[in-house]
Amino acid sequence: MADAHQLSQEAHDRLAAEFEDLTTRGRIDIARKIETARELGDLSENGDYHAAKEEQGKMEGRILHLESILEKAEIVELSPGNTGVVVPGNIVAVIYEGDEEPERMLVGSIEEKRDDVLVVSPRSPLGEALLGSRVGESVLFEAPGGVLAVKVIAIEG
């Protein structure tokens, strides 16, 4: 699967549950809101109706997004512990060249987001550069403003 979304079993189950909820209860609830708003009269100036239709559009967009992710999902063990090299699922502490404060980031899918940790896709320039690196190594990656360097200072499993 070239375009596979690598997800942990936990993230896959969470997304599947959200998809199920949106395609059942969510669609029923939004249909009720639209019907209630229609009963208020003139649709051209009906704020409730327009708000409900906008909410419906956002929900349907999320459903399509979830469906795409779940169809292409590849369940993987993202964090096999600290192997000494950066792999998908690791939280990596890096420091950008010229900075003093390190940043922690999860190398993985945005759907794996945890707490206050930034998420970096393994397919992004920074993610690709970090994969396989070790603590103490500096890696270069192409950013919109030019080539940047980051030093890996910690890897969490």
Mean pLDDT for the chain? Answer: 88
**Residue 137 falls inside a structural domain:** yes
What would the mean pLDDT of 46-65 be, rounded to a whole number? 94
CA distance 157 to 148: 25
Task: Give the pLDDT of residue 55.
Answer: 96
Range of the domain at 53: 5-75
Instruction: For residue 54, tell me if it sits in a domain.
Output: yes
The CA distance from 144 to 157, in Å, is 30
Q: Show which of 50, 75, 100 is a domain's final residue.
A: 75
Domain stop point among 75, 102, 133: 75
Tokens standing for residue 4: 């596979």
Q: What is the pTM of this model?
A: 0.69
Tell me, yes or no, whether 38 lies in a domain.
yes
Q: Which of 14-28, 68-82, 111-125 has the lowest mean pLDDT?
A: 68-82
Q: What is residue 40's predicted lDDT score, i.e. its pLDDT?
A: 82
Q: What is the CATH number of the domain that holds 126?
A: 3.10.50.30
Query: 26: domain CATH number?
Result: 1.10.287.180
What mean pLDDT do residues 32-45 have?
86
User: Is-contact 108 7, C-beta < 8 A?
Assistant: no
Question: Do residue 62 and residue 9 come from a single domain?
Answer: yes
Two structure tokens written together for 77 = 């063990």
Q: How much of the chain exceeds pLDDT 70, in percent?
A: 94
Is residue 83 situated within a structural domain?
A: no
| Alpha helices (runs of H) in 22-149, residue ranges in sequence order | 27-38, 47-71, 125-130
Whether the per-residue pLDDT at 75 is higher than 60: the answer is yes
152 within a domain of the structure (yes/no): yes
Domain check: are 41 and 68 in the same one? Answer: yes
State pLDDT tens for residues 87-124: 888 889 999 988 999 999 988 888 877 778 889 988 89
Strand order in the sheet with 146-156: 118-120, 103-107, 91-96, 146-156, 138-143
pLDDT at 45: 80
Residue 84 lies in a domain: no
What is the per-residue pLDDT for 123?
86
Query: Quick one: tokens of 11?
Result: 């993230």
Is residue 95 within 8 A of residue 101, CB to CB? The reply is yes
- Say how far apart CA 12 and CA 10 lie, in whole Å: 5
φ, ψ for residue 74 (rounded to 5)? -125, 115
Average pLDDT of the segment spanning 34-53: 87
Report if residue 80 sits inside a domain: no
Query: In this predicted structure, what is the pLDDT of residue 3?
Result: 66
Confidence band of 1 (pLDDT split at 50, 70, 90):
very low
> Residue 86 falls within a domain, yes or no?
no
The number of domains in the chain is 2
